[in-house]
């Protein structure tokens, strides 16, 4: 069984690599066969060549700034979302009072909040983290709250008969049940956190890959713009991979123990 599992894993990774390489090949073929101008669509080689001009674009520094915005906003959303979901599961009246308000506030276009955040927090990393947090916070809250509440009533009655404390009910029953829901919300939040961080860098930043894209747009350096998009994607993929590893370590392990 272990051999089959290992082969399945290798096959899955090979398929992922092949599909990504296929996209690069189609990209290259489209430009060559379609005779597309480089300022409209650069070749993959021209795009990756911009990495060699680090002094012009500071790829490392700008990528780290964007990664800090994405990771900061995402993990803040996870912390606040799980905390509020826990409070809502303990207090139905608090859930009834605040959840509709949070949903309504989430409908505010985050781009419209950018100028306000500049007034409040000035330029820099802080506003970008807040914008990323505001965009990806609600999915974590809603999915976690649902997981905490969708516990079999008979199981809750049983542990209460055994004089389990509220904290024991939460840690032993509700939280394990909510983990699959939590990670589903976290996967959605990864995509939203990346989008939120880039929106923040478009509006309220002087560093980062989003800000760099605005700078190179003026000179029509399309290759650098595409490279910035690829680096942004890489940041999101890394964060998504971390979430998958955590899910495998916590959810899959608990399922095997059962």
Kindly state whether residues 172 and 243 are assigned to the same domain.
yes
Q: How far is CA 179 from the centre of its chain?
A: 17
Provide the CATH number for the domain around residue 234: 1.10.3720.10
58 phi-psi bin (left φ>0, alpha ψ -120 to 50, beta other): left
Structure tokens at 144: 């976690």
Provide the residue range defining the domain that includes 46: 42-257
**Are 155 and 213 found together in one domain?**
yes
**pTM, two decimal places:** 0.83
Query: What is the tens place of the pLDDT at every residue in 25-57?
Result: 888 888 877 777 777 788 888 888 888 877 778
The closest alpha carbon to 136, from 180, 195, 64, belongs to: 195
Residues 10 and 80 in one domain: no
Same structural domain for residues 10 and 88? no
CB–CB of 229/63 below 8 Å?
Answer: no
Whether residue 3 sits in one domain with residue 128: no
94 and 17 co-located in one domain: no
Please count the residues of the chain: 258
57-96 confidence digits (pLDDT tens): 889 999 999 999 999 999 999 999 999 998 988 888 888 8
Q: Look at the chain and report how many structural domains it folds into.
A: 2
The whole-angstrom separation of Cα 144 and Cα 191 is 17
């Amino acid at each position: 069984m272990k051999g089959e599992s290992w082969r399945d894993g290798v096959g899955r990774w090979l398929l992922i690599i092949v599909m990504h390489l296929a996209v690069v090949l189609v990209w290259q073929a489209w430009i060559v066969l379609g005779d597309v101008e480089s300022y409209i669509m650069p070749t993959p080689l021209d795009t990756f060549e911009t990495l060699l001009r680090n002094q012009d674009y500071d790829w490392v520094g700008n990528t780290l700034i964007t990664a800090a915005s994405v990771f900061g906003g995402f993990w803040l959303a996870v912390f606040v979302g799980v905390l509020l979901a826990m409070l809502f599961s303990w207090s139905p009246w608090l859930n009834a009072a605040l959840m509709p308000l949070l949903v309504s506030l989430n409908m505010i276009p985050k781009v419209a909040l950018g100028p306000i955040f500049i007034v409040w927090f000035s330029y820099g990393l802080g506003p970008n983290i807040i914008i990323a947090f505001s965009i990806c916070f609600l999915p974590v809250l809603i999915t976690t709250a649902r997981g905490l509440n969708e516990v079999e009533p008979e199981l809750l009655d049983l542990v209460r008969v055994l004089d389990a404390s509220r904290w024991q009910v939460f840690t032993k029953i509700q939280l394990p049940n909510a983990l699959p829901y939590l990670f589903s919300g976290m996967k959605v939040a990864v995509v939203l956190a990346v989008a939120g961080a880039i929106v923040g860098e478009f509006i309220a930043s002087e560093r980062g890959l989003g800000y760099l894209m605005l700078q190179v747009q003026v000179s029509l350096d399309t290759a650098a713009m595409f490279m910035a998009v690829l680096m942004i994607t890489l940041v999101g993929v890394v964060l998504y991979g971390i979430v998958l590893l955590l899910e495998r370590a916590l959810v899959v392990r608990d399922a095997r123990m059962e």
